[in-house]
Structure 1
Amino acid sequence: MRADPKKQEKFARLAADPYFAQVVSANQAYLRAAVPHPAATERDHWALSCLPGTNGGRRFSTVNMMRMEVFVLFRHEEPEDDTAVHGFVVVRESVLRRYAHSGQGIEELNPNLTFDRSRPYQDAGDDQVRIWGWYDQLIAALAEEPFAVAARELAASLLTGVTNNARHHNYQLADQVLGRAVLPLQAG
């Protein structure tokens, strides 16, 4: 399974992309926040695809659990400096509401993020919200307790099942994200 030439080619293309480090860092932040033992549940309960063809090939990566996308990173159509990587994370909305304080909702406390309640995923039930942002905003949010707990609670309900995207799991990208491999330095 690890020697799939198409997956190796996709990983090589992503690894050569100037935004590769951002993609790795953002996926690390998601798995750190949401999945208690990612290596133990990899491929069977969550899958990480690399350069999937979904959305016209604008995706860098997608983390799937059961039948849903929980963390997706896109290439912005008109990148400017460090703003080429954006995406979304799906979390439990009720958890975020618990953390609202001082009469302000979680959205007012995080004005740089976009909260999208449209098109809910069936596997997550009604208690979900998709949060959009640039990669660094998503990393910062996932480092905060409200978002980490909200991501972890949603993931806990999904990790009990098997993902239907196991065949798309890219071990080379997962190795980078999970810290199992280091790319060799290229001669400059």
Structure 2
Amino acid sequence: MSKAPVRPAASVENFERLQRDPLFEDLAELIAEVLSYAFDAPAAVEIEQWTISCLPSTNRSAERHRLFTLNIGPMEILSVECHLVGGKPIEHVMSVYVSSSALESRTGCSIEELDAKHDLVAIRRTELASADGDGTVIDCSLEDSDALEQFAQLPVDMTTVRPLAEHLVAKGKGPFRQYHNAGFAKYVLERSLDHG
């Protein structure tokens, strides 16, 4: 019985290509940080509770491509897209998911009020079914220092990420194991130790 072919998103080649991105180290640090918010010991639950894909084909076009997707259980919780003009990258946009109820509790504002107050980041409730109505996605440009400053004012931390992560873990494994990039995960986990 022959082995199934390795999916591109899980391949060494895609990991090596991603490492050539100018923001690669920042991306690895970002993923490690979010994993530390979601889990006490991320390495112990790799594949079982979270997976990461490298340069997946999600929403790929000539103008944009996704650099990675971090999934917890059946749903993505963090991704970064690279926007291109003439084939050259001009912007990296992060999307991170948090618990809506936890974010509203921490800030004392509704999701809609938070979005209105933060004009340089997009804050909206997600329609992804796995969140069961308690997911909010925050989009922020990694090149825009003012947007990053606004993002830093939001409580994207253990108090808002973990409730959503726990909800997703309770739903069981997602269908992403075949896309899991073990080399990228190992690289990220070496950084997550610094957050432990």
TM-score normalised by structure 1 residue count:
0.78
Which residues in structure 2 correspond to 1:104-119 (within 5 Å)?
Answer: 105-107=113-115, 110-117=118-125
Q: What's the CA shift for 1:173?
A: 0.8
Corresponding residue of 2:194: none
Equivalent of 2:83, from 71, 76, 89? 76
Deviates more, 1:158-167 or 1:93-102: 93-102
Whether the 8 Å CA contact 2:118–2:150 is kept in 1: the answer is: no
Partners of 2:17 and 2:69 in 1: CA distance: 16
Q: How many residues align?
A: 175
CA RMSD of aligned residues (A): 3.2
Q: How far apart, CA to CA, are the structure 2 residues paired with 1:134 and 1:60?
A: 14
Specify which of 117, 125, 137 is matched with residue 132 of structure 2: 125
| Partner in structure 1 of residue 52 of structure 2 | 48
Q: CA deviation at 1:132?
A: 0.6
Secondary structure, in 3 states, of the residue corresponding to 1:147? coil
2:42 is equivalent to residue 33 of structure 1: no
The alpha-carbon deviation at position 71 of structure 1 amounts to: 0.8
Whole-angstrom distance in 2 between the partners of 1:106 and 1:147:
13
Q: What is the Cα deviation at residue 124 of structure 1?
A: 1.0
Pair 97,20 (structure 1): closer, same or farther in 2 beyond 3 Å:
same
* Closer/same/farther in 2, CA of residues 145 and 109 from structure 1, 3 Å limit: same
User: Contact 2:7/2:178 (CA < 8 Å) preserved in 1?
Assistant: no
Contact 2:120 2:150 in 1 (8 A): no
Instruction: Give structure 1 regions of 4+ aligned residues with deviation exceeding 4 angstroms.
Output: 101-105, 136-141
User: What's the TM-score once normalised by structure 2's chain length?
Assistant: 0.75
> What is the Cα deviation at residue 75 of structure 1?
0.5
Distance 1:107 1:68 in 2: 23
Deviation at 1:139, TM superposition (A): 9.9
Identity %: 28
Question: Relative to total residues, which structure has the larger strand share, 1 or 2?
Answer: 2
1:66-111 CA-partner distances (Å, limit 9, x unpaired): 32211111102249xx963212111111111112249994435544
Output the CA distance in 2 between the equivalents of 1:139 and 1:65.
27
